[in-house]
Amino acid sequence: MLTEIPWPSSGSNQTSLFGLMPPETPFSEFFASLKLRRIEEIIGALDLYYCLHAAVEHPELWDQGDTGQRLKIPVVIERRQALEWVCKKNTPWSEISLDT
C-alpha cells in the first residue's frame, strides 16, 4: 500500500503501481477496499505543493537557488494541479488556477 506521496525529485514509476494491486482480485473488490485520505492530509499536501511551486517559480525569493534542480518541476506542477482539483469541487481540470 502507498502510504506517502513520494518526494517530487523524479517522475512517477507507473510500473511500481501495479505491484500495489493484489493479483487476481476482482476490480469491484479492490475498489471497495480503497480508503480516502483524511482531509487534513490532502490540505497539508496541497500547502506543501503550493510552496514548492512558488519556490521553483520564484527562486529569487529563496536563499537556495538550486531548488529547481532538486525538484522535477513538471511533477510539482502536476501534483499541485491534481490536489487543487480534488479540493475545488465542480471545477474543470483546465480551469484550475496555478497562480503562486
Question: What is the mean pLDDT of each successive set of 10 residues along the chain, which is 100 residues long?
Answer: 70 70 80 88 94 86 62 90 93 92
- Is 52 part of a structural domain of the chain? yes
Q: What pLDDT was estimated at residue 93?
A: 94
The phi and psi torsions of 12 (rounded to 5 degrees) equal -75, 150
Q: What pLDDT was estimated at residue 6?
A: 73
Q: What pLDDT was estimated at residue 89?
A: 86
Q: What pLDDT was estimated at residue 65?
A: 54
Q: What pLDDT was estimated at residue 61?
A: 74
Whole-angstrom distance, CA of residue 93 vs CA of residue 87: 11
- Is 23 part of a structural domain of the chain? no
Q: Which three cell numbers stand for residue 85?
A: 482539483
Q: What pLDDT was estimated at residue 49?
A: 94
Q: Within 13 A of 2's CA, how many CA atoms are on the CB side?
A: 16
Place of cell 483524511: 38
Burial class from Cβ neighbours inside 10 Å (0-12, 13-18, 19+) for residue 80 reads buried
- The total domain count for the chain is 1
- Is 41 part of a structural domain of the chain? yes
Residue range(s) defining the domain that contains residue 68: 37-95
Q: What pLDDT was estimated at residue 71?
A: 80
- Is 80 part of a structural domain of the chain? yes
**Which amino acid, one-letter code, is at 74?**
P
